[in-house]
């Protein structure tokens, strides 16, 4: 009986559908049902802008010019007497603020082997968001005197050194978005060094900024992702139910193969068969050939003019003995 086509189609369809639904469930679970976004409520910035004027000794290279300002030329150590520095600090926010700023300043001489604080100021508090600060002048002779004194005491010496000017601004402000707390330390570096140009002074970090923000994290529930998960659960439930139904339907409609009795199998060859209670005794030199079908064994019996010996225990077996060769077949 030919297997019904509908059962195979149904079984294949629901097997594929179940695989697709499993993949779908896995895929939709890779997407979170909640997302966290960060909203910026207020941004604020601290800006430090330094300006300097170098006082020069009488010189030839700059035609006895007495001062140099930023971008006007190289500061040579031997002709530079003093550097006057000012600092403009500005605080900005994109929301109205009630601001309090506390600031102080330190000036430090640093070499490869030592450091020495040459100046410092006490803390000052103001409500102004723009502050003008005049920094104590950097005097070359005074610095070299301090450096020579320390080197004579420690025995350590260095041909290059740095003056660090470090203001510290502590900003506290109130806004409609929340409080602001910021620490800003815009450090200015004045380097005294030897280069291919000679002994020069370089000034770094004339403009510095620091920007922060007041933020708020917001968690959003993705209802579209939740709905996709529910839809995938429905799909996998239906596909599994369909697979169970189609499997049972396939098993119930699967044609059953009728097993023929031993008697019916051997009936056409009854004239060639003799029955024995026990299997024939075999010598060690006997060669056994297993024959695939009873028909082939029957033809062999006719050719050899030998009977087929039937033994029923331990299982039905047909045997032909031809001297030292034994032909066997086990009917199913």
Indicate the fold that domain 39-220 takes in CATH: Immunoglobulin-like (2.60.40)
- pLDDT tens string for the chain (332 positions)? 454 577 788 888 888 999 999 999 999 999 898 888 899 999 999 999 999 999 999 999 999 999 999 999 999 999 999 999 999 999 999 999 999 999 999 999 998 778 889 999 999 999 999 999 999 999 999 998 888 888 888 877 777 899 999 999 999 999 999 999 999 999 999 999 998 889 999 999 999 999 999 999 988 988 899 999 999 999 999 989 888 888 888 787 776 655 667 778 788 888 888 888 887 787 778 888 888 888 888 888 888 888 888 888 888 888 888 888 888 888 87
Token duo for residue 319: 């045997």
Q: Give dist(CA 121, CA 102) in Å, integer.
A: 12
List phi, psi (to 5°) of 313.
-120, 140
pTM of the model: 0.63
| Domain boundaries defined on the chain | 5-33+222-253, 39-220, 262-329
Beta strand extents in the chain (DSSP E only): 34-56, 67-68, 75-76, 80-93, 98-110, 115-120, 124-126, 130-139, 161-175, 178-184, 188-195, 198-204, 207-221, 273-275, 287-290, 308-311, 317-322, 325-329
The two most distant CA atoms of the chain are separated, in Å, by 142
Closest CA to 5 of 243, 246, 244: 246
143, 115 contact by CB (below 8 A): no
Q: Which DSSP helix (H) or strand (E) runs through 319?
A: strand 317-322
Q: Give dist(CA 61, CA 79) in Å, integer.
A: 9
């Amino acid at each position: 009986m030919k297997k019904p086509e509908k059962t195979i189609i149904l079984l294949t369809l629901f097997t594929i559908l179940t695989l697709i639904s499993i993949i779908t469930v896995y895929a939709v679970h890779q997407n979170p049902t909640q997302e966290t976004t960060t909203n910026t409520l207020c941004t604020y910035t601290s800006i430090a802008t330094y300006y300097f004027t170098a006082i020069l000794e009488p010189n030839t290279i700059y035609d006895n010019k007495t001062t140099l300002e930023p971008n006007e030329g190289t500061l040579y150590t031997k002709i530079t007497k003093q550097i006057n520095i000012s600092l403009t600090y500005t605080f900005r926010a994109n929301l109205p603020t009630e601001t309090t700023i506390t600031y102080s300043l330190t000036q430090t001489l640093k070499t490869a082997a030592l450091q020495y604080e040459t100046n410092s100021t006490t803390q000052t508090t103001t409500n102004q968001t723009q502050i003008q600060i005049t920094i104590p002048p950097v005097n070359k002779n005074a610095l070299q005197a301090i450096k020579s004194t320390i080197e004579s005491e420690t025995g350590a010496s260095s041909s290059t050194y740095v003056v660090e000017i470090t203001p510290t601004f502590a900003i506290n402000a109130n806004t409609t978005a929340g409080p602001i707390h910021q620490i800003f330390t815009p450090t200015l570096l004045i380097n005294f060094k030897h280069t291919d140009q000679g002994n020069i002074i370089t000034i770094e970090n004339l403009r510095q900024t620091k920007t922060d923000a007041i933020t708020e994290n917001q968690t959003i529930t993705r209802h579209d992702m939740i709905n996709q998960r529910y839809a995938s659960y429905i799909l996998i439930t239906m596909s599994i139910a369909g697979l169970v139904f189609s499997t049972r339907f396939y098993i119930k409609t699967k044609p059953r193969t009728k097993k023929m009795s031993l008697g019916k199998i051997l009936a056409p060859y009854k004239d060639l068969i003799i029955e024995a209670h026990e299997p024939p005794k075999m010598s060690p030199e006997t060669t056994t050939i297993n024959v695939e079908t009873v028909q082939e064994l029957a033809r062999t019996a006719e050719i050899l003019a030998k009977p087929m010996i039937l033994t029923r225990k331990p299982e039905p077996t047909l045997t032909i003995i031809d001297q030292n060769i034994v032909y066997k077949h086990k009917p199913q």
